[in-house]
Amino acid sequence: MTFRASVLTLYPQMFPGHLGESLAGRAMERGDWTLEAIQIRDFARDRHRSVDDTPAGGGAGMVLRPDVLADAIDHASPPDDARPRLLMSPRGAALTQDRVRELAAGPGVVLVCGRFEGVDQRVIEARGLEEVSVGDYVLSGGEPAALTLLDAVVRLLPGVMGNEASGNLESFESGLLEHPHYTRPQVWEERAIPDVLTSGNHAKIEAWRRAESEKLTKERRPDLMPAKKKPPQG
């Protein structure tokens, strides 16, 4: 089954971007996944090709019109389309590795890239858009976020990564941050590779890597550490 990605955007020229290179690009050439960038403005209803209007109740900026965006969504994703419809939004649920795995296991995604002040709430509700955030910051539009989401998903598709095992050892896959990496030369600027990594003792190496992952996670992302159970009282 080919993974199908449809991106609704005012800037289709931003796609595939970096996804046309390296492993993702080669996977696209093989037909492992497809990417369609749809111009929202093509569904405008006036001769000026307007896609936005002033916010109801007043305020700064402009808001994407629900009628125009709904027509674009309906074109990209008919009623029998099983792909989830995602709106890239800073107020959405945080994108996690678990969610990325779920998406990679599915038929594809429909991504809506917002612009201006946002998207009319009615089209979010009427078309069942799931709001997704890639971080606690604001971008100029949803396109960089959509590229980030697709990057995370496509690399997990079967056959994309040369070494399938490598994806299982990275940050967040185990619930911890990834351990440090080293390679030749043995000593560089008076800094040596830790002895355990050249010992040939695989059990000790795995124990070291686990300990380093736990140490880094505790220092940098304590929120990822598993909660310790309280001892029974009484």
pLDDT per residue as tens, the chain (234 positions) = 899 999 999 999 999 999 999 999 999 999 999 999 999 999 999 999 999 999 999 999 999 999 999 999 999 999 999 999 999 999 999 999 999 999 999 999 999 999 988 999 999 999 999 999 999 999 999 999 999 999 999 999 999 987 554 555 555 666 899 999 999 999 999 999 999 999 999 999 999 999 999 999 999 999 988 776 555 565
218 and 184, same domain (yes or no)? yes
- State the alpha helices, DSSP H only, in the chain: 22-30, 66-76, 97-104, 121-126, 143-154, 202-220
Last residue of a domain, which of 119, 154, 189? 154
Q: Which of 154, 189, 210 is the last residue of a domain?
A: 154
pTM of the shown model: 0.88
CB 76, CB 38: distance < 8 Å = yes
* Tokens found for residue 45: 């209803």
Domain boundary residue, one of 154, 180, 198: 154
CA distance 86 to 129: 5
Which 3 state secondary structure label does DSSP give 33? strand
pLDDT in the model for residue 165: 45
The two tokens of residue 144 are 């960089």
Answer yes or no: do 122 and 183 share one domain.
no
Domain range for 33 is 3-154
Q: What is the CATH number of the domain that holds 201?
A: 1.10.1270.20
Q: Is the residue at 11 inside a domain?
A: yes
The candidate with the shortest Cα–Cα distance to 151, out of 31, 28, 2, is 28
30 with 80, same domain: the answer is yes
Q: What pLDDT, on the 0 to 100 scale, is given for residue 181?
A: 96
- Residue 185 falls within a domain, yes or no? yes
Q: Could you give the C-alpha distances from 25 to 22, 61, 154, 161, 182, in angstroms and in order? A: 5, 36, 10, 12, 28
Q: What three-state secondary structure class fits 6?
A: strand
How many structural domains compose the chain? 2
